[in-house]
Amino acid sequence: MSNQIKKYPIIEVNNLKTWFPIKRGVLSRTVGYIRAVDIAGLYINRGETLGLVGESGCGKTTFGRTLSGLEKPRTGEMFFYGKNILDLSRRELRELRKKMQIIFQDPLSSLNPRMNVLDIVTEGLAEFGKIEGTREDHAKRLMNEVGLDNDAIYRYPHEFSGGQRQRINIARAIALRPDFIICDEPVSALDVSVQAQVINLLMDLRDTYNLSYLFISHDLSVVSAISNRVAVMYLGRIVESGLTGDVINNSKHPYTKALINAVPEPGHYQKERIVLKGEMPSPSAPPSGCMFHTRCPEVMEICRKQEPKETMSGIHQVWCHLY
Ligand SMILES: Nc1ncnc2c1ncn2[C@@H]1O[C@H](COP(=O)(O)OP(=O)(O)OP(=O)(O)O)[C@@H](O)[C@H]1O
Ligand SMILES: [Mg+2]
């Protein structure tokens, strides 16, 4: 199966940095950088779901946008089926659009309010000349796939509930039969009861079409429900990654442990909650040594000075001086 060590990566990134310049003054000179993403290495196997979890502002969305070409990295390599995305010609990039899609957090603002569902879900198909039968027929088939009624295609985004709108977004994303979908907080704006339905739909589609997902969320319980593997991000870096069960039940990094502790367990009073001290430092002035040392309950002298290297070979990896 797919949930193994790097085998048939659909996505692979090396040394990827996405920084945003901070500009000041009338000449808008660059006075510094927001170091949103700094990933040494990450891969996603074909058919695999990699969950990416971390606090707000840690760089999850920026990573997803970089992968899909919406942000330009400062340095690094990003491979899709072994081809460096940054080296692709314009025509090849257009082809990539078919194979890689993105679903955003806010289902309403990502849908054009003036287009009906028919036009929304078939727009990409029409652009690439991929409509099978009539446009209506094709749109209705997509509605069936995402669990909406056929006549939904004649309605407009504001006429739907949040969960239904996210189904429309999903229909649009799968229309061109992609291999890889970046799901950026796809259920965070939805009620808990609806979240499970949308996650189930994503899992069904994954099985039907052997899709690979990058599933981004700040909510560890949502991420663990759908992911084969999980990567934990802090200040733009991956601090731990591994099979979902290992990362959740046998977490190594103090930051991962703190995230797990922050998930309330129903019916349990948590006595020994590790509470994260302080705020996440600014990504424009990241701490020296280990990025997490300013908030780490287990901080040691070396953590302030030296950046931790990856330890533990194989699939469970952690970047921490404790190991
Ligand atoms: N276009 C931009 N210009 C400047 N800074 C940006 C831009 N986009 C993001 N940032 C900054 O980059 C950092 C990472 O932001 P990002 O949105 O990727 O985080 P996130 O993990 O997705 O957070 P959230 O959970 O709130 O969605 C933040 O400090 C953010 O302010
Ligand atoms: Mg985000």
pLDDT score of 262 more than 90: no
Substitution candidate for ligand 1 out of 17, 20, 106, 232 with most atoms within 8 A of CB: 20
Q: 110-120: per-residue pLDDT in tens?
A: 899 999 999 99
In the chain, the number of structural domains is: 1
Which ligand minimizes its atom distance to the CA of 102?
2
Structure confidence at residue 310 (pLDDT)? 83
Does residue 151 form part of some domain?
no
Average pLDDT over residues 227-255: 95
Percent of the chain topping pLDDT 90? 74
Average pLDDT over residues 214-242: 94
Pocket around ligand 1 at a 6 A CB cut-off: 20, 34, 36, 54, 56-62, 218, 283
Does residue 280 form part of some domain?
yes
What is the number of the ligand 1 atom nearest to the C-alpha of 54? 21
What is the number of the ligand 1 atom nearest to the C-alpha of 59? 18
Does residue 138 form part of some domain?
no
Give me ligand 2 centre to Cα 105, in Å.
8
pLDDT score of 87 more than 70: yes
pLDDT score of 285 more than 60: yes
Structure confidence at residue 5 (pLDDT)? 66
User: pTM to 2 decimals?
Assistant: 0.92
Domain containing residue 178: CATH number: 3.40.50.300
Give me ligand 2 centre to Cα 26, in Å.
30
The residue range of the domain holding 21 is: 9-114+156-319
Does residue 130 form part of some domain?
no
Beta pairing partners, 49:
213
Give me ligand 2 centre to Cα 216, in Å.
8
Question: Which residue's alpha carbon is nearest to atom 14 within ligand 1?
Answer: 59
Q: 125-152: per-residue pLDDT in tens?
A: 999 999 999 999 999 999 999 999 999 9
Give ∠ CA 99-247-193 in degrees, rounded to 5: 65
How far CA 73 is from CA of 18, 51, 77, 107, 220, in Å, comes to: 4, 21, 9, 26, 27
Structure confidence at residue 270 (pLDDT)? 47
Q: Hunting for tokens 């194989």 — which residue is that?
A: 314
Does residue 131 form part of some domain?
no
Tokens of 87: 């080296």
Does residue 147 form part of some domain?
no
Substitution candidate for ligand 1 out of 16, 62, 216, 279 with most atoms within 8 A of CB: 62
Pairing of strands 229-234, 180-184: unpaired
pLDDT score of 49 more than 60: yes
- The answer to whether 77 and 258 are in contact (CB under 8 A) is no
Q: 243-254: per-residue pLDDT in tens?
A: 999 999 999 999
Report the range of poorest mean pLDDT among 83-92, 215-224, 298-307, 309-318. 309-318
Does residue 252 form part of some domain?
yes
Question: Which residue's alpha carbon is nearest to atom 29 within ligand 1?
Answer: 57
Report the range of poorest mean pLDDT among 1-10, 33-42, 311-320. 1-10
Question: Which residue's alpha carbon is nearest to atom 6 within ligand 1?
Answer: 20
In the structure, ligand 2 is a single-atom ion and the residues with CB under 5 Å from it are 61
Structure confidence at residue 264 (pLDDT)? 61
Does residue 295 form part of some domain?
yes
Structure confidence at residue 108 (pLDDT)? 81
Residue 307 and residue 309: Cα distance in Å, rounded? 7
What is the number of the ligand 1 atom nearest to the C-alpha of 185? 27
